[in-house]
Amino acid sequence: MKVFLHKAVVNALLIGALLTTTTSLIAGSGLYSFTLNSIDGKPAPLADYKGKVVLIVNVASRCGFTPQYSALESIYEKYKDRGFVILGFPANNFGAQEPGTNAEIKTFCSRKYNVSFPMFAKISVKGADQVPLYTYLTQETETGIAGDIKWNFTKFLVDRNGKVIQRFEPEVTPDSKEVTEAIEMQLR
């Protein structure tokens, strides 16, 4: 009986240690450890954006905030030569407002809004099937930006070192003074 309890305790401790280590690795590995598929289905490592100021946005084609694509493209064009990039992540988590295929989303974005910033394959930003990137973005941090994604066009500003430094909710437009000043501060 002692041997059985001992093995059970050891197994429980090992499992607990493994979970703690895995969680720490995910949290500590940072933004650059993630690879997702581009909108064209090719692996697109976020490590490709090391050294850039990044704005990560969950987007949708049939949302009241969809016209923000224009402002996103505008600020991308304005700042891209200074080391800024926007990464668009289509998601169908809210009101089924992104029902299209990746090809349909790409066509919509290029024809309607002339999107030239990098777009990724459709993902889930919330719920049981949330991709690890969005688990990382919404976890507790010292900056207080944690919490579930509430709707489309939530924006995360990431500094040149890959640290998530600010979160903007959907109502805050990409070309607002609040967002552009935050971007400019990181580009200095």
Q: What amino acid positions are annotated as catalytic residues?
A: 63
Q: What 3-state DSSP class applies to 79?
A: helix
Residue 91, CA atoms < 13 Å, CB-side half-sphere: 25
List of residues 6+ apart from 69 with CB closer than 8 A: 59, 109, 112, 113, 115
Per DSSP, 126 falls in state S
φ, ψ dihedrals at 79, nearest 5°: -110, -5
